[in-house]
Structures are given as structure tokens and as C-alpha cells.
């Protein structure tokens, strides 16, 4: 979803400019074809939330973002982009960020290897930032893969539990946000307790972010999402609002009849409506609210300056956005 105003972190424009330059430079160093494929999603936009988290975390030191912090931000953004290249292959998605996906334009083979290429570039940067960052980045990549594998394993399972869902989204999404914050803290030389708090903050924020993404897949329009809604249902990924709707006495039985296998476009629309008619959306929003409160608590314990305040408000603004989309659906 293209909503940069949602993520107003106190990152000076000049630092964002340096970040963009560095990001583009990392994906534009080979022949014209490799550069075009590797920079496709960078050029399609994106909120740069993860590098912004690294820069904001580092700014708790009171200094301007160092070269290491910017490189750390680029490193996490490259992992994010690589995971999207691969995710779109797995989802057979043809659109992302309102443009054609890499696999849609160049095919699966190119998308997979280009994703690997972005990961390799990311690893190169991580190694240059020292052993702690290199280990952290490798462990984070492993968590993303674990999360994605557990999601694939649960595909079409109507009995997927809430615990399994939360563990999966922590790995596939929250891990990288936690790492973005942690790298910011490490590269800025913050005290260990602050680094731990920032990591916990990023992990909680990541859960809010993914629950919002999963709710939007049910309630948002194609225009808002930049891709067709209902993709998770189509893939057999039954997220928190769907799990709750399956347990609902009113819509559950009908939904259970529909789910459990691949769906056509019309069936996806019926399933979306059934979920929207249940309390699944409010249930998921409540869960997101609990994690946003944990994130805000962690942010508050970082002090009372502009940065902790902005970090604390991030989860809340994600929630507000979720609630706006839900209201738009009801009206």
C-alpha cells in the first residue's frame, strides 16, 4: 500500500536522499539488464520503512546518521526486496506496488535469481559492518525462510491455530523490522539495554504491520493495495480474521465449505464478504492493538524525545489506517 504519510519518522530529508542514492548504487553496478531487473521494485517506490527505522533508532545517539547506519538500512531494505521477489514467484503474483511484478515481467527464473542477487548484495554490506551485524543478518534471513516455510506448510489448513499464525508472522515479517531497529542501534554504538528495547519494539511493530496487511487483504480495494485483494485466500493462507470467521457460528460453516482448496475469482469475493460479515476483522484489529500497545510501551521507555514519540505513534497510525479501511468497507 502506498501510504508514505503513515510512516512519518523524524528522518531528515537529506539522510533519506543519501539512503536512496546508496540503495540505487547497490542495485546498479552490472550490465544494463541486471541493473534493470535488480532495481525494478526500488524504482517502483515503497515506503522505505525498514531503513527509516534503522536511521531513527540510530538517531537516539544524538548524531547524524553515519555511513554504517545508512548501509545497515540499505542492507535490510535489500533483504525485504529480495523476499518480495521470491514471495511473488511463490504467490504467482503479477502486480506489486502498482507495477508489474518481476516474475510477471521477466518470468520466475529471472525473479528467483535476481532475488538471490539482492540477498548477496545485502550479505556483502552486512559483512562490511562487522561480525555482529553479519550474524544478525544471516539469522534474520533464516527466520524469514522459516516463517515462509511454515506458512506454506499451513496452506489450505482450516485448522491453522492463532498461535501458529502469530509465530509465522513474527518470523516472516517482524524479524526484519526488529533487525532494522537493532542494526540502527548497533551501528550508532547505543547502550545494550537500548538496543534490546529497540529490537523488542521492532518485533512488536512488525506483528502490527503484518496483521494490518492481512486485514487489508480482506477489506481493501485493488487500488489501495496496488494488487488484487483476496490474494491470501486464493493461496490458502488463512490469516487471523479468516481463522476467527471460520469459528463464527453465523458465517463459519459456509466459509468452511468454500475454503480448503483453490478458489476462483467469484469464490474469493464471496469468502471476503463472509469474513467481513463476521467479527474476524475486529478480532484481528484487537490483536494488532495489543501489539501496538507493547510497541508504544517499548518506545516510551527509550525516553521522551521526538524519536521515541514518533516510534510509539507508528503502531497507532498503522492501526488507524486499518480502522479507516474497515470503516470504508462498512459504509
Residues near ligand FPP (CB under 6 A) are 79, 82-83, 86-87, 90-91, 115, 119, 141, 144-145, 148, 172-173, 213
C-beta of 234 vs 307, nearer to ligand FPP: 234
If one asks whether residue 217 binds Mg ion (CB under 5 A), the answer comes out as no
Least distance in angstroms from the C-beta of 75 to ligand FPP: 12
Least distance in angstroms from the C-beta of 249 to ligand FPP: 28
C-beta of 137 vs 190, nearer to ligand FPP: 137
Contacts of 78 (CB under 8 A, 6+ apart): 23, 26, 27, 118, 119, 121, 122, 125
Residue 171 DSSP one-character state: I
Near Mg ion by CB under 5 A: residue from 15, 91, 217, 321: 91
C-beta of 91 vs 248, nearer to Mg ion: 91
d(CA 50, CA 69): 12
| Helix 280-300 / helix 192-219 crossing angle, nearest 10 deg | 160
Binder of residue 83, out of ligand FPP, Mg ion, none (CB less than 5 to 8 A by kind): ligand FPP
Q: Report helix, strand and coil shares of the chain as percent, to nearest 5.
A: 75, 0, 25
Which of 279, 287, 277, 280 minimizes the C-alpha distance to 318?
Answer: 287
C-beta of 203 vs 232, nearer to Mg ion: 232
Contact 75, 206 (CB under 8 A): no
If one asks whether residue 87 binds Mg ion (CB under 5 A), the answer comes out as yes
How many residues of this chain bind Mg ion (CB under 5 A)?
2
Query: What is the Rg, in whole angstroms, of the alpha carbon atoms belonging to the chain?
Result: 19
Contact 69, 187 (CB under 8 A): yes
Binder of residue 173, out of ligand FPP, Mg ion, none (CB less than 5 to 8 A by kind): ligand FPP
C-beta of 110 vs 145, nearer to ligand FPP: 145
Least distance in angstroms from the C-beta of 304 to ligand FPP: 32
Least distance in angstroms from the C-beta of 214 to ligand FPP: 7
Binder of residue 82, out of ligand FPP, Mg ion, none (CB less than 5 to 8 A by kind): ligand FPP
Cell (9 digits) for 196? 534490546
d(CA 226, CA 38): 20
| Piece of 87-95, 102-110, 112-120, 166-174 that binds Mg ion (CB under 5 A) | 87-95
Least distance in angstroms from the C-beta of 164 to ligand FPP: 15
Binder of residue 299, out of ligand FPP, Mg ion, none (CB less than 5 to 8 A by kind): none
DSSP for 89-131 reads: HHHT--EETTEE-HHHHH-HHHHHHHHHHHHHHHHHHHHHT-H
Cell (9 digits) for 136? 544478525
Binding stretches for Mg ion (CB under 5 A) = 87, 91
Amino acid at each position: 500500500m502506498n501510504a508514505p504519510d503513515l510512516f512519518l519518522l523524524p528522518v531528515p530529508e537529506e539522510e533519506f536522499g543519501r539512503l536512496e542514492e546508496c540503495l540505487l548504487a547497490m542495485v546498479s553496478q552490472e550490465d544494463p539488464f541486471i541493473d534493470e531487473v535488480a532495481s525494478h521494485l526500488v524504482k517502483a517506490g515503497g515506503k522505505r520503512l525498514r531503513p527509516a527505522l534503522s536511521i531513527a533508532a540510530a538517531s537516539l545517539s544524538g548524531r547524524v546518521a553515519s555511513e554504517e547506519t545508512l548501509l545497515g538500512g540499505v542492507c535490510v531494505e535489500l533483504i525485504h526486496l529480495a523476499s518480495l521477489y521470491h514471495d511473488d514467484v511463490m504467490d504467482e503474483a503479477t502486480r506489486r506496488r502498482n507495477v508489474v511484478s518481476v516474475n510477471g515481467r521477466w518470468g520466475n527464473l529471472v525473479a528467483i535469481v535476481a532475488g538471490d542477487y539482492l540477498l548477496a548484495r545485502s550479505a556483502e554490506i552486512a559483512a562490511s559492518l562487522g561480525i555482529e551485524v553479519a550474524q544478525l543478518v544471516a539469522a534474520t534471513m533464516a527466520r524469514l525462510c522459516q516463517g515462509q516455510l511454515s506458512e506454506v506448510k499451513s496452506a489450505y489448513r482450516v485448522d491453522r491455530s492463532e498461535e501458529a499464525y502469530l509465530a509465522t508472522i513474527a518470523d516472516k515479517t517482524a524479524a526484519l523490522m526488529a533487525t532494522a531497529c537493532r542494526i540502527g542501534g548497533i551501528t550508532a554504538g547505543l547502550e545494550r539495554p537500548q538496543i534490546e528495547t529497540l529490537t523488542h519494539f521492532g518485533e512488536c511493530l512488525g506483528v502490527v504491520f503484518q496483521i494490518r496487511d492481512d486485514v487489508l487483504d480482506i477489506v481493501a480495494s485493488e487500488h489501495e493495495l496496488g494488487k488484487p485483494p483476496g490474494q491470501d485466500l486464493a493461496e490458502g493462507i488463512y490469516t487471523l480474521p479468516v481463522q476467527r470467521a471460520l469459528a463464527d457460528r453465523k458465517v463459519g460453516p459456509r466459509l468452511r465449505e468454500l475454503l480448503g482448496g483453490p478458489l476462483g475469482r467469484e469464490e474469493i469475493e464471496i469468502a471476503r464478504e463472509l469474513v467481513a460479515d463476521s467479527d474476524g476483522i475486529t478480532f484481528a484489529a484487537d490483536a494488532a492493538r495489543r501489539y501496538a500497545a507493547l510497541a508504544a510501551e517499548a518506545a516510551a521507555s527509550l525516553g521522551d524525545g521526538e524519536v521515541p514519540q514518533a516510534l510509539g505513534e507508528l503502531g497507532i497510525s498503522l492501526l488507524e489506517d486499518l480502522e479507516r479501511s474497515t470503516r470504508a468497507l462498512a459504509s
